[in-house]
Structure 1
Amino acid sequence: MITKFSRGMIAFYTGLASFFMLNFMLFSYLYASGKENWLVEVFQIKLFFVPIVFHVLVLSMLIGLVVFISISYFRSRQYGPIEEKLRLLASGNFDSPLLDMPIPHAAENRLIADVDHDISSIQEKMKQTSLELQQLNARPQFVDGQTKEQILEAERHRLARELHDSVSQQLFAAMMMMSALNEQAIRNDAPESQKKQLALVTDIINASQSEMRALLLHLRPVTLEGKTLKQGIEQLLKELETKIKISLKWDIEEFTMLSSIEDQLFRVIQELLSNTLRHAKAAELEVYLHRIDNNVLLRVIDDGVGFDAENQKAGSYGLMNIRERISAVGGTLKIISFKNQGTSIEIKVPLLKEA
């Protein structure tokens, strides 16, 4: 395919060749006419009070522009539909009607017809691969008589219980003691430096409590425990609203899908909420879940500190887990994040088989 760079180069060299060709014809004409100083005459002849050399230059530029527009039109006509189909496949829209539409003029071009056929074959293979991934993910994986999810759930319960009974309680006790110390410092009119130090320690303990709440949220059971995905997400968000000072907004649509996809999406949302609470320092969080055609579309948006999405280390271990979970159900993950401007995470999972 002709890229934008090569189109520009072709137009430039065409204009340059035209400029030299027209000047050569002009020089040849003046030389053949027997004029003396014919070389100087080129710069003295004027058309509309402008030296003819400049007219030649403008005409050459126009020829190059016409070539550029012609190539662009040809490229758009021939390859535009192919590029659109490839974009749809890359974004996971396997069932888009545009993929089934024949490419115009494909019958006139054997190469384009073959490419269109190859795209259709890739579409079917990608759909089949995604379906196999979803079916494989739905099968329980046994380790010593227990499923992997059962082992993980039991371990999460144990960790959550120990954290709540030890660290969380100690943080709560430390917070109560700091409150008493702050009140005593105010009554005794303590020095301002001492009050600032007490306030700093209080803020650190308060931040640790928030971190602990986020960890306990992250360690909740893996499964939805008999609830629908909509019910599970809303319960999670309402519980979060009572524990964390953050503005929440959500719009969750209820529809049927494979239970394996529901469980994975629920865990992904837990992971995203945990990451937001622990790292984003966001004041607002939005969660949207909808079915669009034959795809599940999940979007989580916050106004936090953001990060460099191109930097793999900045994405943290949590995002690595999310990518693995989404890949396991044949989905795609798109992250848009800018420092100090928030983060938008969009997840799309194809529904290739009804629950």
Structure 2
Amino acid sequence: MLMRNSDTKLLDTILDKMVETVDQSKGQIFSIAEQSRVDYEALLKELQQIKSQIHSSIVEQEELERKVKMARKRLSEVSRDFSVHSEEVVRKAYEQAHDLQVKLLVMRQNEKQLLDRRNELDRRLLSVHTTIERAEQLISQTAVVLNYLTQDMKAFGRALEDAQSKQAFGLQVMEAQEEERKRLSREIHDGPAQMMANVLMRSDLIEKLYRERGVEAAFKEIRDLKKMVRSALYEVRRIIYDLRPMALDDLGLIPTLNKYLATVSEYSRSQSAAPNITFSNIGLEKRLPSNMEVALFRLIQESVQNALKHANATEIQVKLEIKKEQVLAVVKDNGKGFDVNKKKSGSFGIMGMKERIDLLDGDITIRSKPDEGTVVLISVPIIEQPLT
């Protein structure tokens, strides 16, 4: 049954309220995630200090134990022969042995407290990491909802004119949401979650490694551990950046593309897969309507990600030209290419790009052949008012 005008207006009101509520919720969740990351870094710093103190305590204990053994040996020697050693000598030997023993007991107690604190920090780090992971999942879900409630509102309105189109659009929304959740879930599971699990495991091995192989081996493990944690934090920040680059609102399309492509290139190098990514702007440097900047950024982002994930390219070129009445963008790679006439089942990337370009009243052309690379050509007219 087709929807009446009154029903459509009511739905528009509900959708506007939903957008406002979801956007507020996303901000609150993001604040929680940011605070959790701050707490995580503070806990990690304290944990490193505690481990350093434990290491120093172990070294001092070993030296003190050696002194205690020598003091006991000395006490045993003077105690066996009172005729040779005076009572004062015996008393001093006893006091020295006693003082060293007391110091050793105090040091062992301090070490136990440090170990307890280390274990507590490990548990808290795991808890905070779980909070960050859950917050990221919620952010990804709200981002998907906002995307379809705002940027794709026009397509949604068209779909409501026809019952069959409405049903197909609803199914497509749900499929796209599931794909986005799966992608983010895989990225978090394969990246930060795995790294944090390894951190917890390797941190427990450092003390054992020190005892079995010595100080240098233990410190090497600690340095590797720090690199792993920094890599995990980089992964989390990269995922957040993919959800919504804040620079897009503040600086505009060109600086954001510069930063994004530099970040992608840096991340690729860290993963031992480093295609050469170049970006050039040969047109005007001016701001575009907000929705147009977001849509163009997503189109270029999707094209670059496709080249990274599927093309095995060594060169990726991104060119942007903003004219007075038109924006042109080109993403070119020298990868393995594909047959544009063959549709890959279960893939929504190109479909989503075409739907987004339709909302901009623009055109997108994809040229590719096996073993001949891929070229994505994007053309969008500049309108004076933001898209609604």
TM-score range, shorter chain: 0.3 to 0.5
More helix by share: 2
State TM-score, norm by structure 2. 0.40
